[in-house]
Amino acid sequence: MDVQDLLGKVAQHLSVSRAFGTAYEKDGSLVIPVAIVAGGGGAGEGTSHPPTSDWSVEKESDRGDNASGVETSTGSGGGFGGLVMPVGIYVVKDERVRWIPALNANLVIVVLFMTIRMLARTRRRSSHHRS
């Protein structure tokens, strides 16, 4: 797969259609789901030479191109990850738009726990500095 194909697939997965779901009608209202879409990726390439000891190191000019018969290793790789998390819906009825947030209880609990922990650490550090 070349870079253009990879970038095309990334663009597909991070498109607006992922953030705004397919609208549908329910009870005379138009419902539009909304989500947070985030993603990231990376790629790399490298070359490694066989290990040599100080006593066997020769100048390349002394041995010529690949005179030792030892090949160098090359490699490349890449990866991509993404997150799609629902945040709510827009409801359109009688020319009025209303936002209804999606409440994720697990996320609220985790954020609350992290906030309490951060405040406790800050308080503990500030009490150590006063002593």
What amino acid occupies position 102?
A: A
Per-residue pLDDT at 56 exceeds 60: no
In this prediction the pTM is 0.49
Q: Per DSSP, what are the bridge partners of residue 82?
A: 39
Amino acid 70: pLDDT: 60
- What's the rounded mean pLDDT across residues 35-45? 81
Based on the structure, what is the number of domains in the chain?
1
Rounded distance, CA 3 to CA 5, Å?
Answer: 5
Is 95 domain-assigned?
Answer: yes
Phi, psi of 92 (to 5 degrees): -110, 120
Is 64 domain-assigned?
Answer: no
Rounded distance, CA 24 to CA 77, Å?
Answer: 41
Q: Which residue has the tokens 């041995």?
A: 63
Is 90 domain-assigned?
Answer: yes
Residue-wise pLDDT for 78-125, tens only, equals: 777 778 888 899 999 999 999 999 887 888 899 999 999 999 999 988
Rounded distance, CA 35 to CA 17, Å?
Answer: 10
Is 119 domain-assigned?
Answer: no
Rounded distance, CA 46 to CA 4, Å?
Answer: 21
Residues 6+ apart with CB under 8 A from 91: 29, 30, 31, 32, 97, 98, 99, 100
Residue-wise pLDDT for 2-39, tens only, equals: 667 777 777 776 766 778 888 999 999 999 999 888 87
Domain encompassing residue 87? 3-49+71-102
Is 18 domain-assigned?
Answer: yes
Rounded distance, CA 75 to CA 60, Å?
Answer: 23
Is 59 domain-assigned?
Answer: no
Is 40 domain-assigned?
Answer: yes
